[in-house]
Structure 1
Amino acid sequence: MELKEIQNLIKFVAKSGANEVKLEMGDIKITIKTGAQRHETNYFQQTSPVSMPVQVQPEAQPSPVAATESATADDTGAEDTSKYIVIKSPIIGTLYRKPAPDKPLFVKVGDTIEAGDTVCIIEAMKLFNEVESEVSGKIVKVLVEDSSPVEFDQPLFLIDPS
């Protein structure tokens, strides 16, 4: 059974109002529980494993008086990230920065990457999904440590496209 078929099945069950559905096809067994059986609600969310870089929006420009007052605060080490592209997590899972424990990191700060390069993998439901960059550029910052849990749409890397 393909991942898309499982996703469609979960959506169908959620819309149907059923509390639990069990499906067995050969050696594959799937149980989907929804509703509030024990005053809990189970939510299932799975998206396709693609990276979605998003341009970070610059903050609104403050008034000239406020800009003069905040100029000294900005000079103390706050970094301007508005020129960077953010690679975000396409799914919920565990992020791994290496293809295997004994292998080198996919990318590190200072590496130059091309569009389509794998930057990490995210394990979700025993499936390892490669996260690929959709832009070329230089890795400026790694925002998540190896073997860390990540949420959907969580920022993972900052890329300088210039």
Structure 2
Amino acid sequence: MRYLAQDDRAQLAGEYFAPEGLYEYIKQLPFTGRVKSDATTLVAGEWTEILLEYEVGGSGLADGAWIKGTFKFYSDWALFQTSDRTKDNYVSVEYVPNKLFPGQTPATVQSLSIRFDQKGHERPFQKALVVDVHDGYLNPGDRILIRLGDRRYGGRGTRAQTFVEKDFRWRFYIDPVGTS
């Protein structure tokens, strides 16, 4: 992505206001963001809680945007649920705002929702968790925490698949403007 010096930006855009340092910060972020996990190794069949952290990229996330995390359909990973937080395999989502630059306006997102769809994507990565952004936007650098097997309410966590698979992977897809 092209980086413009302050003089070049002023010449192209004319007189404008932008919070100091925000342009430079956004330019160093991946455009659609990045995901990291607190788990690096799992034992087949274990009960666990996994925290996935998505950092919003330089594009931000608009009202109606979504994030989709997928994994292979042939996995026997216990099916996620979002209806009873006291039960096993509960998955939750929460928003964590980033520190604002002086003069930057805070994000306006009102809520996030998460759902599990057993055939929510194309083969072979059909099993999908989808996070939807409702009524507002998120700023670059804000974070979304996805907790697989959320144990905070009494559940055992989530049961990982029972067979060993070298290089088990999640694939994430980001629609920052909600166009599908």
Q: Structure 1 length normalisation: TM-score?
A: 0.24
More helix per residue:
1
Q: Structure 2 length normalisation: TM-score?
A: 0.22
Higher relative contact order (CA 8 A, sep 6+): 2
The structure with the largest alpha-carbon Rg is 1
